[in-house]
Structure 1
Amino acid sequence: MSLTPSLPPSFPPFSALVTRLRAAGCVFAEDEAQLLAAAAATPAELTVMVERRAAGLPLEHVIGWAEFCGLRIAVDSGVFVPRRRTEFLVERAVALTGPGAVVVDLCCGSGALGAALAAAVGGVDLHAADIDPAAVRCARRNIAAAGGRAYRGDLFDPLPTALRGRVDVLLANVPYVPTGEVELLPAEARLHEARVALDGGADGLDVLRRVTAGATHWLAPGGHLLFETSERQVPGALRTVEDAGLVPEVAECEERYAVVLTGTRPLG
Protein backbone atom coordinates (compact mmCIF):
# COMPACT_ATOMS: atom_id res chain seq x y z
CA MET A 1 0.00 0.00 0.00
CA SER A 2 1.48 3.34 -1.05
CA LEU A 3 1.97 6.05 1.57
CA THR A 4 2.14 8.72 -1.11
CA PRO A 5 -0.58 11.29 -0.35
CA SER A 6 -3.25 11.85 -2.94
CA LEU A 7 -3.48 15.55 -3.76
CA PRO A 8 -6.48 17.18 -5.43
CA PRO A 9 -6.25 17.20 -9.25
CA SER A 10 -5.50 20.93 -9.37
CA PHE A 11 -2.41 20.49 -7.15
CA PRO A 12 1.04 19.61 -8.49
CA PRO A 13 1.84 15.88 -8.44
CA PHE A 14 3.40 14.77 -5.16
CA SER A 15 6.34 13.29 -7.05
CA ALA A 16 7.07 16.72 -8.55
CA LEU A 17 7.21 18.27 -5.09
CA VAL A 18 9.65 15.61 -3.90
CA THR A 19 11.83 16.04 -6.98
CA ARG A 20 11.98 19.82 -6.50
CA LEU A 21 12.89 19.53 -2.82
CA ARG A 22 15.44 16.79 -3.41
CA ALA A 23 17.11 18.90 -6.11
CA ALA A 24 17.38 21.72 -3.59
CA GLY A 25 19.26 19.42 -1.20
CA CYS A 26 16.45 18.54 1.22
CA VAL A 27 17.50 15.22 2.73
CA PHE A 28 14.00 14.32 3.92
CA ALA A 29 12.24 15.47 0.77
CA GLU A 30 9.31 13.05 1.01
CA ASP A 31 8.50 13.94 4.63
CA GLU A 32 8.83 17.65 3.92
CA ALA A 33 6.64 17.42 0.82
CA GLN A 34 3.90 15.81 2.92
CA LEU A 35 4.06 18.57 5.53
CA LEU A 36 4.01 21.30 2.89
CA ALA A 37 1.10 19.71 1.06
CA ALA A 38 -0.87 19.41 4.29
CA ALA A 39 -0.22 23.07 5.16
CA ALA A 40 -1.20 24.57 1.79
CA ALA A 41 -4.79 25.60 1.13
CA THR A 42 -4.40 26.18 -2.61
CA PRO A 43 -2.12 25.03 -5.44
CA ALA A 44 -0.61 28.51 -5.67
CA GLU A 45 0.14 28.55 -1.95
CA LEU A 46 1.77 25.13 -2.16
CA THR A 47 3.97 26.26 -5.05
CA VAL A 48 5.12 29.30 -3.10
CA MET A 49 5.81 27.23 0.01
CA VAL A 50 7.86 24.66 -1.92
CA GLU A 51 9.90 27.40 -3.57
CA ARG A 52 10.54 29.11 -0.22
CA ARG A 53 11.77 25.83 1.22
CA ALA A 54 13.88 25.12 -1.87
CA ALA A 55 15.41 28.57 -1.46
CA GLY A 56 16.71 27.57 1.96
CA LEU A 57 14.13 28.84 4.45
CA PRO A 58 13.70 26.54 7.46
CA LEU A 59 10.78 24.19 6.97
CA GLU A 60 9.32 25.38 10.27
CA HIS A 61 9.24 28.98 9.05
CA VAL A 62 7.53 27.91 5.84
CA ILE A 63 4.75 25.88 7.45
CA GLY A 64 4.58 28.12 10.53
CA TRP A 65 5.17 25.57 13.27
CA ALA A 66 7.66 23.14 14.79
CA GLU A 67 7.08 19.90 16.67
CA PHE A 68 8.57 20.04 20.15
CA CYS A 69 7.91 17.64 23.04
CA GLY A 70 4.81 16.44 21.21
CA LEU A 71 3.41 19.95 20.86
CA ARG A 72 2.86 22.03 17.75
CA ILE A 73 4.77 25.26 18.48
CA ALA A 74 4.03 28.33 16.35
CA VAL A 75 7.25 29.66 14.79
CA ASP A 76 7.11 32.88 12.76
CA SER A 77 9.73 33.94 10.22
CA GLY A 78 12.99 34.97 11.84
CA VAL A 79 12.22 33.33 15.18
CA PHE A 80 14.59 30.74 16.60
CA VAL A 81 13.37 27.22 15.79
CA PRO A 82 13.30 24.97 18.88
CA ARG A 83 15.75 22.08 18.49
CA ARG A 84 14.82 18.51 19.28
CA ARG A 85 17.93 18.12 21.43
CA THR A 86 16.52 20.80 23.76
CA GLU A 87 13.73 18.40 24.70
CA PHE A 88 16.34 16.94 27.07
CA LEU A 89 16.42 20.25 28.95
CA VAL A 90 12.65 20.13 29.32
CA GLU A 91 12.82 16.55 30.60
CA ARG A 92 15.36 17.59 33.23
CA ALA A 93 13.18 20.52 34.23
CA VAL A 94 10.02 18.42 34.49
CA ALA A 95 11.73 16.23 37.08
CA LEU A 96 12.34 19.33 39.23
CA THR A 97 8.97 21.03 38.82
CA GLY A 98 5.83 20.53 40.87
CA PRO A 99 2.29 21.84 40.33
CA GLY A 100 2.03 25.51 41.27
CA ALA A 101 5.73 26.18 40.69
CA VAL A 102 6.82 29.60 39.50
CA VAL A 103 8.56 29.05 36.14
CA VAL A 104 10.44 31.58 34.03
CA ASP A 105 11.46 30.88 30.43
CA LEU A 106 14.28 33.36 29.78
CA CYS A 107 15.62 33.97 26.26
CA CYS A 108 12.35 32.22 25.47
CA GLY A 109 12.29 32.50 21.67
CA SER A 110 9.01 30.91 20.61
CA GLY A 111 8.22 29.99 24.23
CA ALA A 112 8.59 26.29 23.40
CA LEU A 113 10.36 25.33 26.62
CA GLY A 114 7.86 26.99 28.91
CA ALA A 115 4.92 25.67 26.91
CA ALA A 116 6.29 22.11 27.02
CA LEU A 117 7.05 22.24 30.74
CA ALA A 118 3.60 23.62 31.52
CA ALA A 119 1.97 20.90 29.39
CA ALA A 120 3.94 18.20 31.20
CA VAL A 121 3.43 19.44 34.75
CA GLY A 122 0.29 21.58 34.71
CA GLY A 123 -0.73 24.34 37.07
CA VAL A 124 2.55 26.25 36.91
CA ASP A 125 2.78 30.04 37.12
CA LEU A 126 4.55 30.62 33.80
CA HIS A 127 6.41 33.74 32.67
CA ALA A 128 8.61 34.20 29.58
CA ALA A 129 10.88 36.95 28.29
CA ASP A 130 12.93 37.70 25.20
CA ILE A 131 14.58 40.75 23.68
CA ASP A 132 13.30 39.94 20.17
CA PRO A 133 9.78 41.35 19.57
CA ALA A 134 8.96 38.70 16.95
CA ALA A 135 9.86 35.97 19.45
CA VAL A 136 7.70 37.54 22.15
CA ARG A 137 4.70 37.64 19.81
CA CYS A 138 5.19 33.91 19.12
CA ALA A 139 5.68 33.08 22.78
CA ARG A 140 2.47 34.81 23.77
CA ARG A 141 0.52 32.52 21.44
CA ASN A 142 2.34 29.38 22.50
CA ILE A 143 2.02 29.84 26.25
CA ALA A 144 -1.50 31.27 26.27
CA ALA A 145 -3.08 27.85 26.87
CA ALA A 146 -1.06 27.54 30.08
CA GLY A 147 -2.06 31.02 31.22
CA GLY A 148 1.52 32.19 30.70
CA ARG A 149 2.63 35.78 30.22
CA ALA A 150 5.44 36.93 27.92
CA TYR A 151 7.43 40.13 28.23
CA ARG A 152 9.80 41.93 25.88
CA GLY A 153 13.12 43.10 27.24
CA ASP A 154 16.72 42.23 28.10
CA LEU A 155 16.94 39.10 30.27
CA PHE A 156 15.42 39.78 33.72
CA ASP A 157 14.64 43.46 33.09
CA PRO A 158 11.01 43.08 31.92
CA LEU A 159 9.98 40.52 34.56
CA PRO A 160 7.59 41.62 37.33
CA THR A 161 9.60 42.55 40.41
CA ALA A 162 7.19 40.46 42.49
CA LEU A 163 8.95 37.37 41.08
CA ARG A 164 12.30 38.23 42.68
CA GLY A 165 13.33 35.47 45.05
CA ARG A 166 10.29 33.35 44.12
CA VAL A 167 11.28 31.53 40.91
CA ASP A 168 11.36 27.76 41.38
CA VAL A 169 12.54 26.83 37.86
CA LEU A 170 14.44 29.20 35.58
CA LEU A 171 14.80 27.90 32.02
CA ALA A 172 17.43 29.85 30.10
CA ASN A 173 18.03 28.66 26.54
CA VAL A 174 20.83 31.21 26.18
CA PRO A 175 22.72 31.65 22.90
CA TYR A 176 26.05 29.83 23.23
CA VAL A 177 27.65 29.87 19.78
CA PRO A 178 30.96 31.81 19.91
CA THR A 179 30.81 34.92 17.73
CA GLY A 180 33.58 33.65 15.47
CA GLU A 181 31.64 30.46 14.74
CA VAL A 182 28.26 31.94 13.87
CA GLU A 183 29.26 32.13 10.20
CA LEU A 184 29.98 28.39 10.28
CA LEU A 185 26.40 27.51 11.19
CA PRO A 186 24.08 25.96 8.61
CA ALA A 187 22.52 28.58 6.34
CA GLU A 188 19.04 27.86 7.72
CA ALA A 189 20.11 29.18 11.12
CA ARG A 190 22.70 31.73 10.03
CA LEU A 191 20.50 33.48 7.47
CA HIS A 192 16.99 33.00 8.80
CA GLU A 193 17.13 33.09 12.60
CA ALA A 194 17.76 36.16 14.73
CA ARG A 195 21.48 36.51 15.44
CA VAL A 196 20.68 37.52 19.01
CA ALA A 197 19.36 33.98 19.52
CA LEU A 198 22.63 32.42 18.32
CA ASP A 199 25.61 34.63 19.23
CA GLY A 200 26.95 33.99 22.72
CA GLY A 201 29.94 36.33 22.55
CA ALA A 202 33.64 35.62 22.18
CA ASP A 203 33.61 32.29 24.03
CA GLY A 204 29.88 31.64 23.77
CA LEU A 205 29.31 32.23 27.49
CA ASP A 206 28.68 36.00 27.67
CA VAL A 207 24.89 35.76 28.00
CA LEU A 208 25.19 32.85 30.43
CA ARG A 209 27.40 34.95 32.72
CA ARG A 210 24.74 37.65 32.82
CA VAL A 211 22.01 35.12 33.52
CA THR A 212 23.88 33.38 36.34
CA ALA A 213 24.82 36.74 37.89
CA GLY A 214 21.15 37.63 38.16
CA ALA A 215 19.80 34.17 38.91
CA THR A 216 20.54 34.22 42.63
CA HIS A 217 18.35 37.32 43.01
CA TRP A 218 15.40 35.72 41.24
CA LEU A 219 15.56 32.08 42.29
CA ALA A 220 13.78 30.93 45.41
CA PRO A 221 15.93 29.08 47.94
CA GLY A 222 16.33 25.60 46.43
CA GLY A 223 15.29 26.93 43.02
CA HIS A 224 16.94 25.69 39.84
CA LEU A 225 18.49 27.31 36.78
CA LEU A 226 18.70 25.03 33.72
CA PHE A 227 20.48 25.77 30.48
CA GLU A 228 21.98 24.00 27.48
CA THR A 229 25.60 24.27 26.39
CA SER A 230 28.14 22.43 24.26
CA GLU A 231 30.38 19.68 25.61
CA ARG A 232 33.54 21.72 25.18
CA GLN A 233 32.03 24.67 27.06
CA VAL A 234 31.16 22.63 30.14
CA PRO A 235 34.28 23.58 32.19
CA GLY A 236 33.70 27.30 31.62
CA ALA A 237 29.96 26.99 32.23
CA LEU A 238 30.61 25.12 35.49
CA ARG A 239 32.89 27.90 36.72
CA THR A 240 30.27 30.47 35.80
CA VAL A 241 27.59 28.65 37.79
CA GLU A 242 29.86 28.16 40.79
CA ASP A 243 31.01 31.79 40.73
CA ALA A 244 27.36 32.83 41.02
CA GLY A 245 27.02 30.78 44.21
CA LEU A 246 24.89 28.07 42.63
CA VAL A 247 25.45 24.33 43.04
CA PRO A 248 26.07 22.81 39.57
CA GLU A 249 25.08 19.49 38.07
CA VAL A 250 25.86 18.25 34.56
CA ALA A 251 23.66 15.86 32.59
CA GLU A 252 24.27 14.50 29.09
CA CYS A 253 22.12 12.74 26.52
CA GLU A 254 24.33 11.02 23.96
CA GLU A 255 21.39 10.13 21.72
CA ARG A 256 20.50 13.80 21.22
CA TYR A 257 24.02 15.23 21.60
CA ALA A 258 22.68 17.41 24.41
CA VAL A 259 24.38 18.75 27.52
CA VAL A 260 22.29 20.42 30.23
CA LEU A 261 23.64 22.16 33.31
CA THR A 262 21.55 22.78 36.40
CA GLY A 263 22.51 25.40 38.95
CA THR A 264 20.64 25.20 42.24
CA ARG A 265 20.40 28.02 44.76
CA PRO A 266 21.31 26.62 48.17
CA LEU A 267 18.62 26.54 50.84
CA GLY A 268 19.00 29.32 53.38
Structure 2
Amino acid sequence: MPDTGVVGRLRAAGCVFAEEEAEMLLAAAAGADELDLMVERRAAGLPLEHIVGWAGFGGLRIEVGSGVFVPRRRTEFLVGHAVGLARPGAVCLDLCCGSGAAGAVLLDRVRGAEVHAADIEPAAVRCARRNVEPRGGRVYEGDLFAPLPVELRGRVEILVANVPYVPTEEIGLLPPEARDHEPLVTLDGGRDGLDVLRRVAAGAPEWLAPGGHLFMETSERQAERAVEAVTEVSDGRLAPEVITSEEWWATVVVATRR
Protein backbone atom coordinates (compact mmCIF):
# COMPACT_ATOMS: atom_id res chain seq x y z
CA MET A 1 0.00 0.00 0.00
CA PRO A 2 1.36 3.47 -0.86
CA ASP A 3 2.12 5.89 1.96
CA THR A 4 -1.13 7.70 2.79
CA GLY A 5 0.73 10.94 3.49
CA VAL A 6 2.30 10.86 0.03
CA VAL A 7 -1.05 10.06 -1.57
CA GLY A 8 -2.68 12.95 0.28
CA ARG A 9 -0.02 15.43 -0.85
CA LEU A 10 -0.32 14.30 -4.44
CA ARG A 11 -4.10 14.38 -4.35
CA ALA A 12 -4.05 17.88 -2.88
CA ALA A 13 -1.82 18.94 -5.76
CA GLY A 14 -4.42 17.73 -8.25
CA CYS A 15 -2.85 14.41 -9.28
CA VAL A 16 -5.73 12.28 -10.56
CA PHE A 17 -3.90 8.97 -10.17
CA ALA A 18 -2.37 9.78 -6.78
CA GLU A 19 -2.17 6.17 -5.54
CA GLU A 20 -0.39 4.89 -8.66
CA GLU A 21 1.98 7.85 -8.68
CA ALA A 22 2.77 7.38 -5.00
CA GLU A 23 3.74 3.77 -5.67
CA MET A 24 6.13 4.84 -8.44
CA LEU A 25 7.72 7.55 -6.31
CA LEU A 26 8.14 5.20 -3.34
CA ALA A 27 9.81 2.62 -5.58
CA ALA A 28 12.17 5.20 -7.09
CA ALA A 29 13.22 7.05 -3.93
CA ALA A 30 16.39 5.97 -2.13
CA GLY A 31 15.12 7.27 1.20
CA ALA A 32 12.70 9.54 3.01
CA ASP A 33 14.49 12.77 2.08
CA GLU A 34 14.59 11.90 -1.62
CA LEU A 35 10.95 10.85 -1.51
CA ASP A 36 9.98 14.17 0.05
CA LEU A 37 11.84 16.05 -2.69
CA MET A 38 10.22 13.94 -5.40
CA VAL A 39 6.74 14.55 -4.03
CA GLU A 40 7.50 18.27 -3.79
CA ARG A 41 8.61 18.35 -7.43
CA ARG A 42 5.54 16.44 -8.56
CA ALA A 43 3.25 18.74 -6.59
CA ALA A 44 4.95 21.66 -8.32
CA GLY A 45 3.87 20.26 -11.70
CA LEU A 46 6.88 18.36 -13.01
CA PRO A 47 5.96 15.32 -15.10
CA LEU A 48 6.10 12.16 -13.02
CA GLU A 49 8.21 10.47 -15.70
CA HIS A 50 10.86 13.19 -15.49
CA ILE A 51 11.04 12.70 -11.73
CA VAL A 52 11.39 8.92 -11.70
CA GLY A 53 13.43 8.87 -14.93
CA TRP A 54 11.32 6.51 -17.01
CA ALA A 55 7.97 5.92 -18.69
CA GLY A 56 6.15 2.69 -19.44
CA PHE A 57 5.54 2.28 -23.17
CA GLY A 58 4.69 -0.80 -25.19
CA GLY A 59 5.68 -3.08 -22.35
CA LEU A 60 9.11 -1.48 -22.05
CA ARG A 61 10.66 0.86 -19.50
CA ILE A 62 11.75 3.87 -21.55
CA GLU A 63 14.25 6.29 -20.05
CA VAL A 64 13.15 9.93 -20.07
CA GLY A 65 14.66 13.03 -18.54
CA SER A 66 14.30 16.76 -18.13
CA GLY A 67 13.50 18.56 -21.35
CA VAL A 68 12.39 15.40 -23.17
CA PHE A 69 8.88 14.75 -24.50
CA VAL A 70 7.17 12.05 -22.44
CA PRO A 71 5.81 9.25 -24.67
CA ARG A 72 2.02 9.15 -24.49
CA ARG A 73 0.23 5.88 -23.90
CA ARG A 74 -2.14 6.59 -26.82
CA THR A 75 0.84 6.43 -29.18
CA GLU A 76 1.04 2.71 -28.41
CA PHE A 77 -1.92 2.39 -30.80
CA LEU A 78 0.16 3.85 -33.64
CA VAL A 79 3.23 1.78 -32.83
CA GLY A 80 1.17 -1.39 -32.48
CA HIS A 81 -0.11 -0.98 -36.04
CA ALA A 82 3.40 -0.28 -37.27
CA VAL A 83 4.63 -3.48 -35.63
CA GLY A 84 1.76 -5.39 -37.18
CA LEU A 85 2.72 -4.31 -40.71
CA ALA A 86 6.47 -4.78 -40.28
CA ARG A 87 7.97 -7.92 -41.76
CA PRO A 88 10.96 -9.59 -40.04
CA GLY A 89 14.10 -7.60 -40.82
CA ALA A 90 12.12 -4.50 -41.84
CA VAL A 91 13.95 -1.19 -42.25
CA CYS A 92 12.21 1.19 -39.85
CA LEU A 93 12.53 4.92 -39.20
CA ASP A 94 11.36 6.80 -36.09
CA LEU A 95 11.19 10.54 -36.88
CA CYS A 96 10.55 13.19 -34.21
CA CYS A 97 11.64 10.30 -32.03
CA GLY A 98 11.84 12.09 -28.67
CA SER A 99 12.94 9.47 -26.16
CA GLY A 100 13.07 6.84 -28.91
CA ALA A 101 10.12 4.93 -27.47
CA ALA A 102 8.69 3.89 -30.84
CA GLY A 103 12.08 2.81 -32.14
CA ALA A 104 12.75 0.80 -29.01
CA VAL A 105 9.44 -1.06 -29.35
CA LEU A 106 10.08 -1.80 -33.04
CA LEU A 107 13.45 -3.27 -32.12
CA ASP A 108 11.89 -5.29 -29.33
CA ARG A 109 8.93 -6.66 -31.27
CA VAL A 110 10.02 -6.92 -34.92
CA ARG A 111 12.53 -9.73 -35.36
CA GLY A 112 15.74 -8.52 -36.99
CA ALA A 113 14.44 -4.98 -37.55
CA GLU A 114 16.89 -2.34 -38.76
CA VAL A 115 15.83 0.78 -36.85
CA HIS A 116 16.97 4.37 -37.33
CA ALA A 117 15.69 7.35 -35.30
CA ALA A 118 16.15 11.12 -35.47
CA ASP A 119 15.20 14.23 -33.56
CA ILE A 120 16.14 17.91 -33.67
CA GLU A 121 16.35 18.30 -29.87
CA PRO A 122 19.83 17.49 -28.41
CA ALA A 123 18.34 16.36 -25.08
CA ALA A 124 15.96 14.01 -26.89
CA VAL A 125 18.78 12.57 -28.99
CA ARG A 126 20.87 11.84 -25.91
CA CYS A 127 17.89 10.12 -24.31
CA ALA A 128 16.96 8.19 -27.46
CA ARG A 129 20.49 6.87 -27.76
CA ARG A 130 20.14 5.30 -24.31
CA ASN A 131 16.88 3.62 -25.32
CA VAL A 132 17.55 2.70 -28.95
CA GLU A 133 21.25 2.05 -29.46
CA PRO A 134 21.68 -0.64 -26.77
CA ARG A 135 18.91 -2.53 -28.58
CA GLY A 136 20.76 -2.30 -31.88
CA GLY A 137 19.35 0.84 -33.51
CA ARG A 138 21.00 4.12 -34.55
CA VAL A 139 20.02 7.68 -33.57
CA TYR A 140 20.79 10.91 -35.45
CA GLU A 141 20.50 14.58 -34.50
CA GLY A 142 18.93 16.97 -36.96
CA ASP A 143 15.77 18.25 -38.64
CA LEU A 144 13.53 15.41 -39.88
CA PHE A 145 15.21 13.60 -42.80
CA ALA A 146 18.27 15.88 -42.99
CA PRO A 147 20.67 13.88 -40.76
CA LEU A 148 19.82 10.46 -42.19
CA PRO A 149 22.36 8.45 -44.23
CA VAL A 150 21.61 8.61 -47.95
CA GLU A 151 21.68 4.81 -48.10
CA LEU A 152 18.23 4.79 -46.48
CA ARG A 153 16.57 6.54 -49.43
CA GLY A 154 13.93 4.31 -50.96
CA ARG A 155 14.49 1.52 -48.39
CA VAL A 156 12.31 2.48 -45.41
CA GLU A 157 9.39 0.08 -44.99
CA ILE A 158 7.97 1.47 -41.74
CA LEU A 159 8.16 5.21 -41.00
CA VAL A 160 6.78 6.31 -37.64
CA ALA A 161 6.58 10.07 -37.08
CA ASN A 162 5.05 11.28 -33.82
CA VAL A 163 4.77 14.83 -35.14
CA PRO A 164 3.60 17.77 -33.01
CA TYR A 165 0.00 18.59 -33.92
CA VAL A 166 -1.25 21.13 -31.38
CA PRO A 167 -2.18 24.42 -33.12
CA THR A 168 0.02 27.27 -31.91
CA GLU A 169 -2.83 29.23 -30.38
CA GLU A 170 -3.88 26.19 -28.31
CA ILE A 171 -0.52 25.53 -26.64
CA GLY A 172 -1.63 27.58 -23.65
CA LEU A 173 -4.54 25.18 -23.10
CA LEU A 174 -2.26 22.18 -22.53
CA PRO A 175 -1.68 20.84 -19.01
CA PRO A 176 1.14 22.72 -17.25
CA GLU A 177 3.34 19.62 -17.05
CA ALA A 178 3.41 19.57 -20.85
CA ARG A 179 3.57 23.24 -21.77
CA ASP A 180 6.02 24.16 -19.00
CA HIS A 181 8.33 21.15 -19.02
CA GLU A 182 8.39 19.69 -22.53
CA PRO A 183 10.12 21.40 -25.49
CA LEU A 184 7.81 23.66 -27.49
CA VAL A 185 9.08 22.12 -30.72
CA THR A 186 7.58 18.77 -29.66
CA LEU A 187 4.12 20.28 -29.12
CA ASP A 188 3.61 23.17 -31.55
CA GLY A 189 2.26 22.08 -34.93
CA GLY A 190 1.90 25.57 -36.35
CA ARG A 191 -1.19 27.57 -37.22
CA ASP A 192 -3.46 24.61 -37.94
CA GLY A 193 -1.36 21.97 -36.18
CA LEU A 194 -0.34 20.27 -39.43
CA ASP A 195 2.89 22.07 -40.38
CA VAL A 196 5.26 19.24 -39.42
CA LEU A 197 2.89 16.58 -40.74
CA ARG A 198 3.04 18.29 -44.14
CA ARG A 199 6.83 18.40 -44.10
CA VAL A 200 7.11 14.73 -43.22
CA ALA A 201 4.55 13.71 -45.85
CA ALA A 202 6.32 15.80 -48.49
CA GLY A 203 9.67 14.13 -47.83
CA ALA A 204 8.48 10.60 -47.09
CA PRO A 205 8.07 9.31 -50.68
CA GLU A 206 11.81 9.71 -51.30
CA TRP A 207 12.66 7.57 -48.28
CA LEU A 208 9.90 4.97 -48.31
CA ALA A 209 10.26 1.73 -50.22
CA PRO A 210 7.44 0.92 -52.68
CA GLY A 211 4.52 -0.19 -50.52
CA GLY A 212 6.16 1.29 -47.41
CA HIS A 213 3.96 2.81 -44.71
CA LEU A 214 4.04 6.19 -42.94
CA PHE A 215 2.29 6.52 -39.55
CA MET A 216 1.48 9.93 -38.05
CA GLU A 217 -0.66 10.77 -35.04
CA THR A 218 -3.17 13.61 -35.21
CA SER A 219 -6.46 14.58 -33.57
CA GLU A 220 -9.94 13.48 -34.59
CA ARG A 221 -10.93 16.99 -35.64
CA GLN A 222 -7.80 17.37 -37.80
CA ALA A 223 -8.02 13.98 -39.48
CA GLU A 224 -9.86 15.04 -42.65
CA ARG A 225 -7.55 17.99 -43.26
CA ALA A 226 -4.53 15.80 -42.49
CA VAL A 227 -5.54 13.31 -45.20
CA GLU A 228 -6.00 16.15 -47.69
CA ALA A 229 -2.62 17.59 -46.74
CA VAL A 230 -0.81 14.26 -47.15
CA THR A 231 -2.31 13.72 -50.59
CA GLU A 232 -1.51 17.26 -51.70
CA VAL A 233 2.09 17.61 -50.50
CA SER A 234 3.07 14.12 -51.65
CA ASP A 235 1.72 14.83 -55.16
CA GLY A 236 -0.45 11.74 -54.83
CA ARG A 237 2.52 9.45 -54.21
CA LEU A 238 1.09 8.53 -50.80
CA ALA A 239 -2.33 6.94 -50.27
CA PRO A 240 -3.55 8.00 -46.82
CA GLU A 241 -6.25 6.53 -44.60
CA VAL A 242 -7.33 7.19 -41.02
CA ILE A 243 -7.48 4.61 -38.26
CA THR A 244 -8.92 5.37 -34.84
CA SER A 245 -9.30 3.81 -31.41
CA GLU A 246 -11.80 4.87 -28.78
CA GLU A 247 -9.98 2.72 -26.23
CA TRP A 248 -6.67 4.56 -26.75
CA TRP A 249 -8.34 7.88 -27.66
CA ALA A 250 -6.08 7.90 -30.70
CA THR A 251 -6.31 9.02 -34.33
CA VAL A 252 -3.60 7.99 -36.78
CA VAL A 253 -2.99 8.72 -40.45
CA VAL A 254 -1.47 5.74 -42.25
CA ALA A 255 -0.10 6.64 -45.69
CA THR A 256 1.23 4.00 -48.07
CA ARG A 257 3.66 4.77 -50.87
CA ARG A 258 2.06 3.92 -54.19
TM range (shorter): over 0.9
User: Hey, what's the Cα distance between the residues in 1 that align with 2:209 and 2:16?
Assistant: 46
Q: Which amino acid is 2:99 matched to?
A: S
Shift of 1:42: 2.0
Shift of 1:168: 0.6
Does the alignment pair 1:45 with 2:37?
A: no
Q: Which amino acid is 2:212 matched to?
A: G
CA-to-partner distance for each residue in 1:13-53, whole Å, 9 max, x for gaps? x2211111111111111111111010011222111111100
CA-to-partner distance for each residue in 1:106-147, whole Å, 9 max, x for gaps? 000000011112211121111000000010111111112321
TM-score by length of 1: 0.93
Match of 2:108 in 1: 119
CA RMSD of superposed structures (Å): 0.9
For 1:114-263, list aligned pairs within 5 A. 114-243=103-232, 244=234, 245-263=237-255
Tell me the secondary structure at the aligned position of residue 56 of structure 1. Answer: coil
1:101 to 90, 103, 118: 90
Match of 1:91 in 2: 80
Larger radius of gyration: 1
TM-score by length of 2: 0.97
Is contact 1:126–1:146 with CA below 8 Å preserved after alignment?
no
Shift of 1:93: 0.4
Is contact 2:106–2:115 with CA below 8 Å preserved after alignment?
no
Gaps of 5+ in 1: 6-13
Matched residue count: 255
User: Hey, what's the Cα distance between the residues in 1 that align with 2:15 and 2:222?
Assistant: 31
Moved over 6 A (4+): none
Is contact 2:133–2:139 with CA below 8 Å preserved after alignment?
no
Match of 1:74 in 2: 63
Q: Which amino acid is 2:196 matched to?
A: V
CA-to-partner distance for each residue in 1:70-107, whole Å, 9 max, x for gaps? 11000111111111111000111011101111100000
Q: Which amino acid is 1:34 matched to?
A: E
Gaps of 5+ in 2: none
Tell me the secondary structure at the aligned position of residue 255 of structure 1. Answer: coil
Q: Which amino acid is 1:256 matched to?
A: W
